[in-house]
Structure 1
Amino acid sequence: MFCGECGSSSTATPVSRRRPDPRPSDTTVIPALPPARHVVSVPVEQAPAPQNAEPGAAPGAVSTADVPAETARWMAASAPASGQRFQLQFSTGETISVAGTGLLGRRPLPEPAEYFDHLIQINDVGMSVSKSHLEFGQDEGRLWVSDRYSANGTVVRRPGERAIRCEPGRRYLVPRGTRVEIAEQFFMVS
């Protein structure tokens, strides 16, 4: 017997209408992360100096003989020319002081053979910020940002200029006073 209006079985019950769970029975439920601050800056730990470190090298420095040539060139090119420090003031209220290079996102994770001075995590409830949304660094004491092919993109608003939508993989200089919009979040450079 079937219902003339909806076509379902007239003898069916809510329990018998329930579809079986397609997931395997060994599925584990992952608990939610504990509430945290909105922005977390995690300094990248430096390994102790190896036995064959170059003379006069800073503590934690690695001899370029220990790494592939391409990585050594990248490390030399990404080292900040000056010790400039920049303040990143986030829309969530936190302020982070940075120098050198960094990666910013919901859960920033460098690719293999990438080295960063800062990993900055943003707690974005709306998940508009990508996991590794933005990369930043310095060039002759000036800060630059580069979109890491994020889903919602990056917009740079320099003081007195029109907004620029960042092309992924390209570096954009961001002088002090610039507003950098990362999806629904933003930060000011000072």
Structure 2
Amino acid sequence: MRCRICGAELPDGAMFCGECGSSTSATPESRRRADSRPGDTTILDPLDRPSPRNSGVVSVPVDGFPAATAIGLDADQAANESDAAARVEPAQPSVPATGHPARFVLEFSTGETRTVFGSGLIGRRPLPQPGEHFDHLVQIADRTLSVSKTHLEFGEHEGTLWVSDRFSANGTVVRRPDDGALRCEPGRRYLVPSGSRVELAEQSFVVA
């Protein structure tokens, strides 16, 4: 009889391994640590908000961008991402028909302001999936943990910013000027024109 975790020889009838301390019924699959995204996020009460008549959903191709530049709302947290960002080659910004890259100013509830272009991720510690590349990784300092690590994706469509919830724990709500509130369906892209407020659980930003 052998331990299925460390392979040590065990006497017949043993309940625990004398080498690693594992139960004799344990398997490598049962000992595998689960992914903490977004399981470490503090879950808030669900919001009951009406949806506007115009959802503003856009369908655009996912072309991606060849590089990412880590920026953050919290300087100490941003330093943790610097090594990963340094391994990515620099990119050229997306340039629309006007000849100038579309840029958007995001004013966060934390008091920080960021100017972005192209594509990016927003969250407590945003992390692209394998094969994904973004122009920006925007970190939010959220001590309440209401914002997921990778909460939101953003990009540009015909000069207007769009956002897409990345299956966050507490969801994303878009409030457009004179258009009420809309809870975003994960994985779909929603236009957020200037003046819109995007709520990420207990944090938010305004597109200036």
TM-score of the pair, normalised by structure 1? 0.61
Structure 1 residues 158 and 40, CA gap change in structure 2 (3 angstroms)? farther
C-alpha displacement at 1:86, in angstroms? 0.4
Q: Which runs of 4+ in 1 moved over 2 A?
A: 36-46, 78-82
Q: CA RMSD in A?
A: 2.7
Structure 1 residues 131 and 162, CA gap change in structure 2 (3 angstroms)? same
The answer for unaligned runs of 5 or more in structure 1 is 1-22, 25-35, 49-59, 62-77
Where in structure 2 are the equivalents of 1:1-190 lying within 5 Å? 36-37=74-75, 44=85, 46-47=88-89, 79=94, 81=96, 83-190=101-208
SS at match of 1:86: strand
Structure with higher Rg: it is: 1
C-alpha displacement at 1:157, in angstroms? 0.2
Q: Which structure exhibits the higher relative contact order, with contacts defined as CA atoms closer than 8 Å and separated by 6 or more residues?
A: 2
SS at match of 1:104: strand
Residues in 1 aligned to 2:195 and 2:78: alpha-carbon distance in whole angstroms:
22
2:122–2:152: 8 Å Cα contact kept in structure 1?
A: yes
Residues in 1 aligned to 2:174 and 2:76: alpha-carbon distance in whole angstroms:
21
Aligned length: 130
C-alpha displacement at 1:141, in angstroms? 1.3
CA offset digits 1:57-96 (Å, max 9, x no partner):
xxx57xxxxxxxxxxxxxxxx9553511100000000000
Given residue 89 of structure 2, which amino acid in structure 1 is its aligned partner?
A
CA offset digits 1:106-138 (Å, max 9, x no partner):
010000000100000111000000000000000
TM-score of the pair, normalised by structure 2? 0.56
SS at match of 2:137: strand
Given residue 178 of structure 1, which amino acid in structure 2 is its aligned partner?
S
Residues in 1 aligned to 2:140 and 2:125: alpha-carbon distance in whole angstroms:
8
Question: How many percent of aligned residue pairs carry the same amino acid?
Answer: 59
Structure 1 residues 168 and 84, CA gap change in structure 2 (3 angstroms)? same
2:94–2:117: 8 Å Cα contact kept in structure 1?
A: no
The answer for unaligned runs of 5 or more in structure 2 is 1-20, 23-73
